[in-house]
Amino acid sequence: MPMDKIAVLDFGGQYAHLIANRVRRLGVYSEIFDGETTAAKLQGYKGIIFSGGPQSVYEHDSVKCDPKILELGVPILGICYGHQLLAYIQGAKVEPAHLREFGLTEMKVVKAEGVFKGLDAVETVWMSHGDSVKELPPGYEVIGESPGENAAIANFSKNFYGFQFHVEVVHTVHGMKILKNFLDLCGVEYTWKIDDYIAQEIEAIRSKVGDKKVFLMVSGGVDSTVAFALLEKALGPERVYGLFVDTGYLRLNEREQVKKALTDLGFSNLHIRDESKRYFESLRDKYDPEAKRKIIGDLFLEVQKDVADELKLNPDEWLLGQGTIYPDTIETGGTRHAAKIKTHHNRVPQIEELMKAGRIIEPLAQLYKDEVRQVGEKLGLPTAMVWRHPFPGPGLAVRCLCAHGEKYPDHHTTVEKKIDQILKPHGLTCKILPIQSVGVQGDFRTYKHPLALMGAVEACDFALLDQLATTLINQFKEINRVIVTVTPNKMETFRVQNKYLTPDRIELLQKADAKVSEFLVENKLQREIWQFPTVLLPLSVNRESGESVVLRPVCSEEAMTASFYRMDQKLLKGLSAAIFEIPGITAVFYDVTNKPPGTIEWE
Ligand code: XMP
C-alpha cells in the first residue's frame, strides 16, 4: 500500500533518528537516509528534513547534500547543521557564532505563520551550536530571533525552512507543534501506528532468525525485557534462551529481584551467572571510563561464550540477541557521521564484528525508550516493568568514578576567580574539582571538570542555578557540569584519592543508591523523575577521609536530552541527610546540569 513518507537526511550526531521518532509520534511514516543520498532516490517523499550534525559546513570535508534536492519541489526543513547547510548551498555565509548556545534560549517569533502558526510571541527553544548563518540566502527572511544569530529563517515561496534550534527535542516547548505545522505543509496523511511496527518487526524477526534460536542477554531492564517478549511472540518460548550476568555492579539485591521478575513473566529458559569476581579482577586498576566500558562489554561476550560452550550450543544454530535501542548505537558513534560519546556495553568492537557477520539480532535497535515502552505496554508487560528507570548495562561501574592522581585544568585558580566575580552577587563561591567526567557539547564528547558551587545554596533557587550553570559552561571551556553542595558541612578543601572499581566502593555506592530508590518509591516520584543516577566520587572534603555522592535526578523523554530535576527543598534535605549519614560519605552534591552539556550518567 503506498503511503506518505517523510525523508530524514542524516548528517551525524544523534538527531536524525530522533526526528524520525518525532515524525512517527505525530503519526507519519519516516525513513532515514545518509546525508549524501542523491535527489533521484528521494523522489516521491512528501517532505525532506535535514538533521543536525557535529561538523561545520565551511570545512571542506564536511558532509554535503545533493543540491538537486532543492529542485524536487517538496517542502524542506533544515535543523541546526541542516539549517546551516541549506543556507550555505544557497549562497549564505556560515561562520563561528559570536555566541555559542548550548541549552535553552528564548526565541522571539517574528512571523507566526506557516511553520510557526499558533506560536507565542516568545518561545523557549533548545540549541547546541558553535556556528551560525550570518547572511541569509536570496529569497529568505528571518522568522525567529534569539541572542545568537538567525534562529529561524524561511523562504515561503519555496516552502524551505531553517531552524538553528532543535525542534525535535522535548525541551523546545512547542517543538511538536512546529513539526506538525511542517508536516501539514507537506500535505501528508497521518497513518503510522505502533501496532503496525510490532507486526512488521515480528515478521522481520522470523525472517532473520529462520530456523535458528536466539540467545538473549537480559538485564531485567525495560529494553531487554521488551526484546524478550517480542522475540518470544515471534519465535515461541522454546527458541529463546536468556542469560543474566551478575557483574558485581548491580544494585542492592538486584539479582534476586530480576530473577523473580523474569520468572514471574514466564521466562523459563533463564540462566543466571555470578561473574562478579571475574569483573572485579579485570577492572582492578582501571580508571579511564572508556577502558572500563570496553572491558565490561568484552567480558559480557566472554561469559556468553563460556555459557554457550557449557551448554554445548552449536554456534551455527544460534544468534546472539540484545535489547539495544537506538541511543546506544548513536552514542557509540555507530552511524556514519556521528562522533563517539561513549562505548555502550552492547556496541564494543567484538559485537560490531558479529553484527557484520549477521550473528546478532536486536529487535528494538531503531527505537527510543518511549517507543520501547509503548511496545512493552502493547505486548501486555506489567506497568512496573515497563516504567522501570533505565539503568546502564555496565551498571554501577559507570557511576563509580575512579581516579589516578588529581587533575586540574590549566590556571584553574585564575578561572575560579573569574567565576567567583560572576557568583558574588548571588552569595556563592566556587571550586573547580580535580576530577573529570564525560559530557556532550555540540554533538561531541567532552571530558572536563565539574564546578562545585558553595554558599547560600541552602535555599536552592533552581531557576537561578539553571541559568548560572548554562552561562558558566557556555563561557568557561574548562568545565562541563555544575553541582551544588547540599550537605551542611562548610567545604574548604577538596582532595581526590587514587581509587578504582573495588567491591568496598561498589558496596558504598549500593547503600547510597538504595536510599535513593527507597526515596523514589516513598515519594511516588518514579514517573516525574525519569532517571536518578547516584554517583560516587573519590573526593573527600576538609581533609576528612571518605568519598562524595552526587545526586543526579533528571527529566527526559528519550535520554538524548535531559534537564535536571528541580526537587522540593524539604525532600532534598531529607534525602541528602539520609545519605550523609552513611559511614564513609563526607559530602553530598546535587547536579544542576542539563544534557547537554552534561550527560545523564557521570563517568
Ligand atoms: P548518557 O549518560 O549518555 O546516557 O546521558 C543516556 C542513557 O543511556 C544509558 N546508558 C546505557 N545504557 N548501556 C545501556 O544499555 C550502556 O552502556 C549505557 N550507558 C549509558 C543511561 O543510563 C541513560 O539512560
Residue ID of nearest Cα to ligand 1 atom 3: 599
Q: Does any ligand 1 atom lie closer than 6 A to the CB of residue 601?
A: yes
Residue-wise over 364-380: b if at least 16 C-beta within 10 A, else e?
bbbbbbebbbbbbbbbe
Looking at per-residue confidence, does 10 or 327 come out higher?
A: 10
Q: What is the pLDDT of residue 335?
A: 63
Ligand 1 centroid distance, CA of 601 (Å): 7
- Point out the ligand 1 atom lying closest to the alpha carbon of residue 331: 3
393 CB near ligand 1 (under 6 Å): yes
Q: Does ligand 1 have an atom closer than 6 angstroms to the CB of 591?
A: no
Helix axes 194-209, 369-378, angle to 10 degrees: 90
pLDDT single digits (tens) 246-264: 999 999 999 999 999 989 8
* pLDDT reported for residue 104: 84
Question: CB within 8 A of 127, min separation 6: which ones?
Answer: 80, 101, 102, 103, 105, 146, 148, 151, 164, 165, 166
323 CB less than 6 Å from ligand 1?
A: no
Write the residue with the smallest CA distance to atom 14 of ligand 1.
Answer: 392
Confidence at residue 456, expressed as pLDDT on a 0 to 100 scale? 66
Q: Whose CA is nearest to atom 21 of ligand 1?
A: 392
Give the pairing of strands 444-455 and 437-441. Answer: antiparallel
Distance (angstroms) between ligand 1 centre and the Cα of 594 equals: 15
Q: Which of 18-22, 252-256, 297-301, 488-492 has the lowest mean pLDDT?
A: 488-492
| CA 394 to ligand 1: nearest atom | 17
Question: Which atom of ligand 1 is the closest one to the Cα of 599?
Answer: 5
Cβ pair 140, 134 in contact under 8 A = no
Split at pLDDT 50, 70, 90, the class of 102 is confident
Dihedral in degrees, nearest 10, Cα atoms 352, 353, 356, 357: -140
Atom of ligand 1 nearest to the CA of 223: 15
**Contact predicate 463/495, CB 8 Å:** no
CA 91, 93, 98: angle at the middle one, nearest 5? 165
DSSP strands (E only) in 486-527: 494-496
The predicted structure's pLDDT at residue 457? 59
Per-residue pLDDT, averaged over 468-492, amounts to 92
Percent of the chain at pLDDT > 70 equals: 98
% of the chain with per-residue pLDDT over 90: 78
Q: Which of 103, 99, 321, 292 shows the shortest CA–CA distance to 231?
A: 321
User: What is the distance in A from the centroid of ligand 1 to the CA of 392?
Assistant: 5
Q: How far is the CA of 467 from the centre of ligand 1 (A)?
A: 26
- Nearest ligand 1 atom to the CA of 390 is 24
Residue 98 has pLDDT above 80, yes or no: no
Predicted confidence band at 2 (pLDDT cuts at 50, 70, 90)? low
Beta sheet of 93-109, edge-to-edge order? 29-34, 5-10, 47-50, 76-79, 160-163, 152-155, 141-145, 93-109, 122-135
Which residue lies with its CA nearest to atom 18 of ligand 1? 392
Closest Cα to atom 10 of ligand 1: 392
Mean pLDDT estimate for the chain? 93
Angle between helices 349-356 and 289-310 (to 10 degrees): 50
How many Cα atoms sit within 13 Å of 177 on the Cβ side? 15
Instruction: Please give the Cα distance from 510 to 399 (Å, whole number).
Output: 10
Distance of CA 549 from the midpoint of ligand 1 (Å)? 19
Q: Which numbered atom of ligand 1 lies nearest the CA of 601?
A: 2
Over residues 199-217, the pLDDT tens digits come to 999 999 999 999 999 999 9
Beta partners for 106?
A: 124
Is 558 near ligand 1, meaning CB less than 6 Å away?
A: no
Higher pLDDT, 433 or 14: 433
Give the distance (Å) from ligand 1 centre to CA of residue 393.
8
Higher pLDDT among residues 102 and 407, named by residue: 407
Is there an atom of ligand 1 within 6 Å of 478 CB?
no
Phi then psi for 430, rounded to 5 degrees?
Answer: -140, 160
Backbone angles phi, psi at 244, to 5 degrees: -115, 125
Q: Which of 251, 328, 341, 558 to mutate to test the pocket of ligand 1 (most atoms within 8 A of CB)?
A: 328
Question: Cα(110)–Cα(118) distance, rounded to whole angstroms?
Answer: 12
Q: Please state the rounded mean pLDDT for residues 396-406.
A: 97
Residue 500 is predicted with a pLDDT of: 97
Residue 494: predicted pLDDT: 93
398 Cα to the center of ligand 1, angstroms: 9
Exposed/middle/buried for residue 173 (C-beta within 10 Å: 0-12, 13-18, 19+): middle
When pLDDT is cut at 50, 70 and 90, the band that residue 1 belongs to is very low
Ligand 1 and 331: CB distance under 6 A: yes
Say whether 317 sits in a helix, a strand or coil: helix
- For residue range 106-137, list pLDDT tens digits in order: 999 999 999 999 999 999 999 887 888 999 99
What is the mean predicted confidence (pLDDT) over 151-160?
96
Q: Which residues are catalytic?
A: 80, 166, 168
Spatial distance between the Cα atoms of 429 and 244, rounded to a whole number of angstroms: 47
Distance 595 CA to ligand 1 centre (A): 12
Quickly list DSSP for 139-204.
Answer: T-EEEEE-SSS-SEEEETTTTEEEESS-TTSTTSTTHHHHHHHHHHHHT------HHHHHHHHHHH
Supply the angle between the helices 222-235 and 194-209 in degrees, to the nearest 10: 70
Phi, psi of 501 (to 5 degrees): -85, 90
